[in-house]
Structure 1
């Protein structure tokens, strides 16, 4: 990427992303463009879903197909099926340096599958079924999962409307942070974040661009 265009992009992204220094934003954009180039059949449209899933699997240790797809859609804010440089940096802000509030919003967005802003009873069932299947594929029991759904809603559905709103989710997680990824892992483990940062930011000097 031409230096002037890169600097302009870094300046633009740095205005909205405060968790990274400009030099770090530049490194993340450099990595982004090398990943896009490596997968050149898509031209310069951005990171497609398969390439992004490969990153989630190889770098961040994610293995759940359903949740990896949902994480892709949470990164892809404009829903054009490609992750732009800005979407890449903004998503990694949450992954690597997100506050609890940012992680709450991200996880909730991953979990409400139909885009209506609520996690319905059916979605709770599908998410728990998927999560349990990842752990033990041979033990799939719909009745047992329905019981888990009831327990989950009893614990998280504060206004008793049969679905989980963001307010419900936030209240439950603030009372018990273990509930942040209650429906399956959609954030990377700290060790994978540390490894990623060490790898990508290793050549940064103390000065920024």
Structure 2
């Protein structure tokens, strides 16, 4: 009976934690089909050229091994990626006179934020969305902070079809603000303070956040050392899955993930 009561208490606490976060409604972006090229009766004889929007074969083969997308889905993602990059380039500020135009080699942060909000319904706090951006691999060949195609695919692979371990590691990395391998009291305070509604007339709203931090810490800090390690987080989430996103939404809902994957399968 004590074990049962403890499990009920854990679930109720987890639900309460999720209840203090802001969840707004966001519209799902509809996928547009590419118009078919007009027929040409007698095309001129010339050497075939690889279409600009064709996913390179080497990249395709690599991502088939390292992501959870099939060939058709990867080609659809590549078409989408090129459109997002083109949109980012079009929205870039005008260059200084005499200087070459700014060339964005990948998905920039503003475009990434728009996709997370509008397509995947990540209508969470900007701190969380910025952390999601920071945790996606960009590497030495990733351009000036932009997401290259392989990083874009690998990140989406975790968000949309990740294993329990991959999704948990993703959330932990988002919450670990200074990337030192632990979620500390200070990090919890910043994350929860940004997510709570500020009530008018509160003399010391920070005090309520501190109380909430202590509540969360008691649930997540399994080894009681005053901070949450990856092992603590894993043990707590396995016992109560609702604690996975205790500090803010950083994964798309199943409904939006399913809808997005469906658009990939319908792209021509």
Among candidates 222, 228, 244, match of residue 158 of structure 1: 222
Q: What's the CA shift for 1:45?
A: 1.6
Q: Does 1:35 align with 2:79?
A: no
Among candidates 132, 136, 139, match of residue 78 of structure 1: 139
Which residue of structure 2 aligns with residue 59 of structure 1? 119
The 5 Å alignment of 1:1-209 reads 2=52, 6-17=56-67, 19-40=68-89, 41=92, 43-63=103-123, 64-78=125-139, 81-132=145-196, 136-138=197-199, 141-203=205-267
Q: What's the CA shift for 1:53?
A: 0.2
Name the CA shift for 1:3/1:56 in 2 (closer, same or farther; >3 Å): closer
Partners of 2:264 and 2:128 in 1: how far apart? 25
Name the CA shift for 1:186/1:3 in 2 (closer, same or farther; >3 Å): closer
Matched residues, number: 200
Q: What's the CA shift for 1:7?
A: 2.0
TM-score, length-scaled by structure 2 = 0.70
Give ranges in structure 2 of 5+ residues lacking alignment. 1-50, 93-101
TM-score, length-scaled by structure 1 = 0.88
Partners of 2:262 and 2:175 in 1: how far apart? 30
Higher relative contact order (CA closer than 8 Å, sequence separation 6+): 2
CA contact (8 A) 2:54 2:75 kept: no
CA contact (8 A) 2:88 2:104 kept: no
Q: What's the CA shift for 1:3?
A: 6.7
Q: What's the CA shift for 1:99?
A: 1.3
Partners of 1:4 and 1:50 in 2: how far apart? 25
More helix by share: 1
The structure whose Rg is larger is: 2
Which residue of structure 2 aligns with residue 207 of structure 1? none
CA contact (8 A) 1:14 1:22 kept: yes
Partners of 1:99 and 1:182 in 2: how far apart? 19
Name the CA shift for 1:6/1:92 in 2 (closer, same or farther; >3 Å): same
Give ranges in structure 1 of 5+ residues lacking alignment. 205-209
Partners of 2:52 and 2:259 in 1: how far apart? 28
Name the CA shift for 1:5/1:54 in 2 (closer, same or farther; >3 Å): closer
Q: What's the CA shift for 1:138?
A: 2.7
Q: What's the CA shift for 1:77?
A: 4.3
CA contact (8 A) 1:6 1:26 kept: no
Partners of 1:5 and 1:97 in 2: how far apart? 21
Comparing 161-170 with 71-80, greater Cα deviation is found at: 71-80
